[in-house]
Amino acid sequence: MIRLGCAVRVLGKPGLKPYDTRRWQSGPHLSVSLAYVRDILHYLHKADIRMYRLASDLAPYITHPDFPEFHHQIDEALAELAHVGSLAREYGIRLTFHAPSHVVLSSSNPALVEQGMRTLNVLARMLNEMHLGPESVVVLHVGGGYENPAAALERFCRHVDQLPPETRQRLALEHDDTTFDLMDVLTVHERTGIPVVFDFLHHRLLNRGRVPLDEAVDMALRTWPTNVRAKLHLASPSTAARRVERKNPVTGERFVTVHPPLLHQHSDFIHPFDAIELLDSLRGRDVDVMVEAGGHDIALGKLRQDLQRLAPHLAAEVAGAPGRAVEETILTWEEWAGVEEEDGDRVLVVVMNNPRDFEIARDEGWYRIPVERAPDMVAADYLAFYLTKVFGPERWSIPYIAPVRRYRLARRRELLPEEGDHPRADAWYYKVEIGPLRRLPHPIPSRRLRRVTFIPTTLRRLLEAEEINDLWLGPTAQEQLYKALIRYRVPAVQEPAVGEGHTPYQGGIDIPCVDGVVRVLIADEEGAWEEDERTVILVPPEKVLGQLDAVVEQVLDRVRERGDTKPQDAESSLPHRFR
């Protein structure tokens, strides 16, 4: 069976960051990155994706010579590394790294080589501390040829031999598209024993010996131990025109020119006939193929769809449900381009149930989340606190926020020793260490009494929100429909995904009516049915985005059947009539 994987960034679910991206001034930490990885693993498991490339910056600034305070992050996150590794094994997801471009073991510069070796040691140690098997590798390139490729290859081999055994056994070597082709790295394998990752696009761009694809794949696969699944890379060359901004040296005026594509750049999606060519050479083998495309997991889902349609004989050999990530995901351009990801820190809204927990957060600087009941998205750069009815004038609102420092795993008895006889004393919790609580400029109210659990959102949404409904990072189609209903003066309410463990149901959008509730779910199929006190409507996301007015009218018809919308509480400014 052939398994497909994706790399670093995930697009199929809003709010998933690949690592703690905060700058050094904000104190990023490996434990926060691991919390994000934990969230990504839950998503990949549901999307039936069984290989994932971790971000090489998982431990921020860990080898930076100017920031020694970041050098001990692995020792500070051993339990969290083991937890993520255990989850990956439970879900059957292969985790790997790709060494960053500054790792150049072929260099003659001792300082550059030393820095690269430190980075490899760190990446390998993280995999070791996750207790992952030999299939979890750190992929690297030989590096530059420096006008003497033979000497560069020799230096690379010598420097590899100088690495600790626990690092060296994690390495896998990939040929490139400019200097060292497959035959070159096969000579390195013969010298060092490092297995070779075959790259489909690189072989097309640099293949001096004109080695046929089938032969090239066979040679690369034979370099892997028999008990380890070989790893390959699949990418298609970009065919999109490039926009290049230039500046007139005389007038200073900026203008844009259009240039042909660079073939070594990856396309957003995999050309299906590239995939068919490679996968046909892999029939009958148990291997893993990393999809390298700008669309990441969305491109992987699209490839599954394409194979089902164009090459069903190969689709049968590829693990995973066809097209699942594509069918459930429609993105705005900003989400696709990563605008919101770069521009908004992540926030997790949590519930503050009693004054004692508030005192712990304020005075001791931590908040606890039970591991067994944690939401699918637990990682964040900030926690925001929803206060329940015991908090007097601030009840049923979000008035405070605090920056996240670290995530730690601890048993309840360690966190609350005075409650040693508690029924869950031995249960595991995420201890989220936080900075000082800060009051928001405007507390965010809940305009309808509800059971709030966890709400993942962004800092930008939090600061701009007028009420809790404005916070949800729902599917794009759901959000578009919600905003349209609000424009029609319908008091719609976005509900979070709730449920025990990791089998939540999607709450969608609720509209309280005089005679029950109308609930709208964004789903793959279309339909509707009546329950005693609820009308349920299923609407495909493509219909919402393509026929929004018709969908709104469909929903309004159902609301009218239930006696129009129910009057809101006194705090709400929305009327209950919309006709």
What are the residues facing 237 on neighbouring strands?
266
pLDDT given at position 492? 87
The pTM (predicted TM-score) of the whole model is 0.81
What are the residues facing 430 on neighbouring strands?
369, 409
Strand, coil or helix: 206: coil
Does the pLDDT at position 341 exceed 50? no
Does the pLDDT at position 459 exceed 80? yes
**525 versus 399: which is more confidently predicted?**
399
- Tokens coding 433: 């260490």
Q: pLDDT (tens digit, 9 = 90+) per residue, 158-212?
A: 999 999 999 999 999 999 999 999 999 999 999 999 999 999 999 999 999 999 9
The dihedral through the CA atoms of 70, 75, 79, 84 has a sign that is positive
In the chain, what percentage of residues exceed pLDDT 90? 55
Residue 39: in which H helix or E strand, if any? helix 30-46
The H-assigned helical ranges of 488-573 are: 541-546, 548-561
CA distance 382 to 438: 11
Angle of the 182-192 helix axis to the 149-161 helix axis, nearest 10: 30
Mean pLDDT score across all residues of the chain: 87
Angle of the 272-280 helix axis to the 296-310 helix axis, nearest 10: 70
pLDDT given at position 332? 54
Average pLDDT over every residue of 556-577: 66
pLDDT given at position 240? 78
314 pLDDT band, cuts 50/70/90, is confident
Average pLDDT over every residue of 236-243: 83
Residues 6+ apart with CB under 8 A from 465: 444, 471
Q: How many of the other CB atoms lie within 10 Å of CB of 423?
A: 8
Q: How many of the other CB atoms lie within 10 Å of CB of 79?
A: 15
Integer CA distances (angstroms), 493 to 470, 475, 505, 570, in order: 9, 15, 16, 16
pLDDT given at position 333? 53
CA distance 270 to 412: 47
Q: Which CATH number fits domain 344-468: 2.30.29, 1.10.10, 1.20.58, 2.30.130?
A: 2.30.130
Average pLDDT over every residue of 51-77: 93
The H-assigned helical ranges of 400-535 are: 412-415, 459-464, 476-487
Q: Tell me the residue type at 298.
A: I
Residue 152: in which H helix or E strand, if any? helix 149-161
Strands (DSSP E) found in 93-186: 94-98, 138-140, 171-174
Phi, psi of 338 (to 5 degrees): 80, 20
Does the pLDDT at position 481 exceed 80? yes
CA distance 200 to 373: 42
Integer CA distances (angstroms), 455 to 10, 348, 375, in order: 19, 6, 9
Exposure pattern of 240-259 as b/e (b: 16+ CB <10 Å)? eeeeeeeeeeeeeeeeeeee
**147 versus 279: which is more confidently predicted?**
279
Residues 6+ apart with CB under 8 A from 183: 208, 209, 211
Q: Tell me the residue type at 531.
A: E
Average pLDDT over every residue of 220-236: 95
CATH no., domain 2-226: 3.20.20.150
Half-sphere exposure of 93 (CA within 13 A, CB side): 28
Residues 6+ apart with CB under 8 A from 188: 142, 153, 156, 157, 173, 194
pLDDT given at position 84? 96
Question: How is the chain split into domains, by residue range?
Answer: 2-226, 344-468, 474-579
Average pLDDT over every residue of 27-40: 94
Of 2-16, 61-75, 93-107, 440-454, the least confident? 440-454
pLDDT given at position 372? 87
Of 267-271, 289-293, 324-328, 500-504, the least confident? 500-504
pLDDT given at position 487? 85
Does the pLDDT at position 227 exceed 70? yes
334 pLDDT band, cuts 50/70/90, is low
Q: pLDDT (tens digit, 9 = 90+) per residue, 116-174?
A: 999 999 999 999 999 999 999 999 999 888 889 999 999 999 999 999 999 999 999 99
Angle of the 110-129 helix axis to the 78-91 helix axis, nearest 10: 70
CA distance 280 to 283: 5
The C-alpha torsion from 327 through 331 and 337 to 343, rounded to 10°, is: -130
CA distance 157 to 303: 37
pLDDT given at position 241? 81
Distance separating the N- and C-terminal Cα atoms of the chain = 57
Does the pLDDT at position 499 exceed 50? no
Does the pLDDT at position 214 exceed 50? yes
**328 versus 453: which is more confidently predicted?**
453
pLDDT given at position 270? 92
474 pLDDT band, cuts 50/70/90, is low
Average pLDDT over every residue of 52-81: 93
Average pLDDT over every residue of 245-251: 84
344 pLDDT band, cuts 50/70/90, is low
265 pLDDT band, cuts 50/70/90, is confident
